Amino acid sequence: MQIIRRNVGLTVGDSLMRVYVALPKPAGQYPGILFYSDIYQLGSPMTRLADRLAGYGYVVAAPEIFHRLEPIGAAIAPDDLGRLRGNDNASQTAIAEYDADAQAVLDFLKKEETVIPDKIGTIGFCIGGHLAFRAAFNDAVKASVCCYPTGIHNGKLGKGTADTLERMAELKGKLFILFGTLDPHIPEAARTRIMQELVRTGVSHTMSIYEANHTFMRDDGDRFDPAATDAAWTEITGFLSQVFG
């Protein structure tokens, strides 16, 4: 499916947040997806992922997660300095600010004429996987896809400690979560802890584990795994299709 792209600005508190929007070109209404990038924001590897998802028939809205700290349109280079910069931005952003951003984008999607208002989901990568999980605490979210989400098991997300693990029972929609066995940021013990809590709280979930590294779906780095990425996309799109019909 062909897509169109645009940018919108949402004001959250006293900060203007750019949101990259990709949606199907054919006129109609589609499920809406709140899309979260990794710490490098919306560079071309992330917008390609957003575009690809939109081509399956979704209105994808991707906010700049560090809009309070970075200029509009800033994409952080995925190198050593960029990693330091992105992690510093993450540590300076309050958990409540991340949550406020999620609410703003979800409200935007619910009001968009191209979005079916009762079919809204989230997807995210790395820190964005954690943010997608938290956004799913909102009752409007029916499906959440969390790709190698960092910090859920230990509360590392931003300024302070995130209470995501403790609030897991608040997730009422369906969850698809994927990990890589070679991921140093989410080792086996962390994956086990998350799985045990999902089972304990009765969250409807599917977990997939690939023999792959962290950020294996990002196509500009040496950890990119095309085969695992294709397999993940098959599962992700199948999951979303099953939830949204």
Mean pLDDT, contiguous 10-residue spans, the chain (245 residues): 98 97 98 98 98 98 98 97 97 97 98 97 98 97 98 96 96 97 97 97 97 97 96 98 95
The Cα 116–Cα 30 span in angstroms is: 5
Q: Give residue 34's pLDDT.
A: 98
In 3D space, the residue among 93, 95, 117 whose CA is nearest the CA of residue 106 turns out to be: 117
H or E stretch including 232?
helix 226-244
* Gyration radius of the chain's alpha carbons: 16
Q: Give residue 245's pLDDT.
A: 87
Q: Tokens for 83?
A: 């990693």
CB atoms within 10 A of CB 3: 21
Which positions are annotated as active-site residues?
126, 183, 214
Residue 9 near residue 19, CB atoms below 8 Å: yes
Q: Give residue 215's pLDDT.
A: 97
- Residue 49, φ and ψ in degrees, nearest 5: -65, -40
The Cα 45–Cα 126 span in angstroms is: 13
Pick the CATH number of 3-244 from 3.90.550.10, 1.10.600.10, 3.40.50.1820, 3.40.50.20: 3.40.50.1820
**Distance from chain centroid for Cα 112:** 20
- Domain ranges in the chain are 3-244
